Amino acid sequence: MNAVIEMKGIHKRFGKRPVIAGFDLTVKQGEVLGLLGPSGIGKSTVLRMIAGLERPDSGSIRVGTSHIGYVFQEARLLPWDTALNNVVLPLRAMGKGKREATDRARYFLKRMELSEFERVYPHQLSGGMRQRVALARSFAINPDILLLDEPFTGLDKDLKETMRHLLEAALESSSAAVIHVTHDPSELLDRTNRIIQLKQQGKEPCAGACLTKTIQQGQVS
Amino acid sequence: MIDPYTGKLPPFAFHLLGLILLILGWELLARHYSGLVVAAPGETLAALFRLFKNETFLARHMGPTLERIGLALCFGIGSGAALGVLAGFVEPIRLMLAPARWILTSIPGVIVVVVFMLWFGMGTTMVVCITATMVAPIVYVNVADGMMSVDRNLLEMAKVYRLPLCMRLVRIYAMALAGPLLSGAVIATGNGIRLVVLAEMLGANEGIGHALAISRSNLQTDELYALTLLAMLVIGGVEVLLLRPARKAVQRRRA
């Protein structure tokens, strides 16, 4: 399969603090990659660079599509728009007609079991529901790449399971390359077929996580 | 009138009580001083009704004043908001506008009136220019500050999903700025109407301000007070009928 993401020799610093040093990554279409590591090690920065929200200090990134779905740690919904309008928004930006965009948004809200809440504003939804709207928004654009940045953060155990189940079900009919960032291995999706563990380099701790690099790659058992 | 659940008077009852006390104080003052100094509330209201019935007053003074207020607020709020948005997007522009903003907000209004009278002469152009110039910085400050506080997370979301600029402006910036813009507009409206009346008083041949100057010269105190009340009613009308409902609508959507 074709690689949809290629990162080579990526270095990134925030001020004087190196966050990513010599990071390489290739992700193929349809692959579900788990990116594991402790907080502050640079996992989210990798996703942000793929999405074009951060630029590397050096190295190259090639992303073979503009259809990127991104589920952030927090839902990032427009507070003044309904759940439906939040899902419709990126579809309209893609040039879809109003009716087509609305139908598609409704379909994905239904898949996220939110049909009854399409006219509801984000502040009237629970945290888990807001994340499901964000998931619906990501899937609605039919993404070639789906970036999941700790999407289960702040949810209780039952809600995490519900979200995981809905996410797995939605991925069944998607050919997107998925990068799922988490610090908790138990949160990884069942269909994860590659895991990259990010670890700190060097013996001395350096104010949290200052040096990172791909250390291990392994298959899910 | 007492709330059966809390056992307290509702807020509007206190507003009403404050108003009654003010009118009582005014009546007492009017009884103590000559009618040439303080017109009684009843005389003021009678003069106000006379003004409303007077077609010449409505056409010659009320109409031009409302027109000037409308034009000045449109230009002032429009230019202030546009510059505020620009300053929010382009940091050097915000820095360059800072001295002008500081000068305009610290200079006394009466000085601006005198200077603009020299530049524009008497009449509508002068009144509208003064008011718009003094109103714009108030709105500018609110909008520029609002631009700084637009949720960066939403802007990142917009970037990821490639929302075009017009969509970002309408769906994110406009909604985020509606609150600060309306707050600025409320203050600007009050200040603007006061400035229009001041400018008309000093340099116009028609308008409420000019009528005020004539009443003062003729020692028609009841009419002077009625015109003051009329200016207050215009400010209150714009705020209650236009700005407050708009602000509530925005707050509801942003809740």
Q: Measure the CA–CA gap between B204 and B37, rounded to whole angstroms.
A: 25
Q: Measure the CA–CA gap between A100 and B164, rounded to whole angstroms.
A: 19
What pLDDT was estimated at residue B255? 56
Yes or no: say if A26 and A199 are a contact pair by the CB < 8 Å rule.
Answer: no
Q: How confident is the model at residue A170 (pLDDT cuts 50, 70, 90)?
A: confident
What pLDDT was estimated at residue A149? 93
Q: Which of B157, B165, B250, B253 to mutate to test the interface with A (most CBs of A within 10 A)?
A: B157
Q: Where are the domains of chain A?
A: 79-138
B134 located within any domain: yes
What pLDDT was estimated at residue A206? 35
Q: Are the beta carbons of B164 and A53 separated by less than 8 Å?
A: no
State percent of chain A over pLDDT 70: 90
B195 located within any domain: yes
Strands A3-14 and A17-28: antiparallel
What pLDDT was estimated at residue B98? 92
What pLDDT was estimated at residue B253? 65
List of chain B residues whose C-beta atoms are within 8 Å of the C-beta of residue A136: none
Q: Is the whole-model pTM more than 0.80?
A: no
Give the chain A residue whose CA is nearest to the CA of B167.
Answer: A93
Q: Is the pLDDT of residue A221 over 70?
A: no
Residue A156 tokens read as: 């209780």
List of chain A residues whose C-beta atoms are within 8 Å of the C-beta of residue B161: 70, 89-90, 93, 137, 141
B7 located within any domain: no
Q: Which of A80, A84, A87, A94 to mutate to test the interface with B (most CBs of B within 10 A)?
A: A80
Class of residue B92 by CB neighbours under 10 A (exposed 0-12, middle 13-18, buried 19+): exposed
Q: Give me the tens of pLDDT residue by residue for chain B, a chain 255 residues long.
A: 666 667 777 888 888 999 999 999 999 999 999 888 899 999 999 999 999 999 999 999 999 999 999 999 999 999 999 999 999 999 999 999 999 999 988 888 888 888 988 898 888 899 999 999 999 999 999 999 999 889 999 999 999 999 999 999 999 998 888 888 888 888 888 888 888 998 998 888 899 999 999 998 888 999 999 999 998 898 888 888 888 888 777 776 665
- Nearest CB to A66; choose among B153, B162, B172: B162
Q: Does A80 touch chain B (CB under 8 A)?
A: yes
What pLDDT was estimated at residue B1? 62
Residue B67 tokens read as: 């027109």
Yes or no: say if A13 and A57 are a contact pair by the CB < 8 Å rule.
Answer: yes
Q: Is the pLDDT of residue A3 over 90?
A: no
Number of structural domains, chain B?
1
Residue B212 belongs to what domain range?
64-254
SS3 state of residue B253 = helix
List of chain B residues whose C-beta atoms are within 8 Å of the C-beta of residue A66: 162
B129 located within any domain: yes
Report pLDDT digits (tens) over A191-217.
Answer: 898 998 887 654 333 333 333 444 334
Q: Are the beta carbons of A93 and B171 separated by less than 8 Å?
A: no
**Which one has a higher pLDDT value, A64 or A215?**
A64
Class of residue A34 by CB neighbours under 10 A (exposed 0-12, middle 13-18, buried 19+): buried
Yes or no: say if A200 and A211 are a contact pair by the CB < 8 Å rule.
Answer: yes
Q: Which of B150, B160, B247, B253 to mutate to test the interface with A (most CBs of A within 10 A)?
A: B160
Max CA distance (Å), chain B: 72
Q: Are the beta carbons of A76 and B153 separated by less than 8 Å?
A: yes
Size of interface A-B (CB pairs under 8 A): 48
B46 located within any domain: no
What pLDDT was estimated at residue A115? 92
List of chain A residues whose C-beta atoms are within 8 Å of the C-beta of residue B153: 72, 74, 76
Q: Is the pLDDT of residue A110 over 50?
A: yes
Mean pLDDT of chain A: 85
CATH code, domain carrying B248: 1.10.3720.10
Short-list A123, A118, A96, CA closest to A107: A118
- Nearest CB to B171; choose among A52, A78, A141: A78
Q: Measure the CA–CA gap between A221 and B132, rounded to whole angstroms.
A: 71
List of chain B residues whose C-beta atoms are within 8 Å of the C-beta of residue A89: 161, 163, 167, 171
Q: Does B161 touch chain A (CB under 8 A)?
A: yes
What pLDDT was estimated at residue A215? 38
Distances (CA, A) of A43 to A149, B57, B92, B159: 8, 72, 34, 20
- Nearest CB to A123; choose among B156, B175, B255: B255
B6 located within any domain: no
Give the chain B residue whose CA is nearest to the CA of A78.
Answer: B154
What pLDDT was estimated at residue A65? 87
Q: Are the beta carbons of B157 and A81 separated by less than 8 Å?
A: no
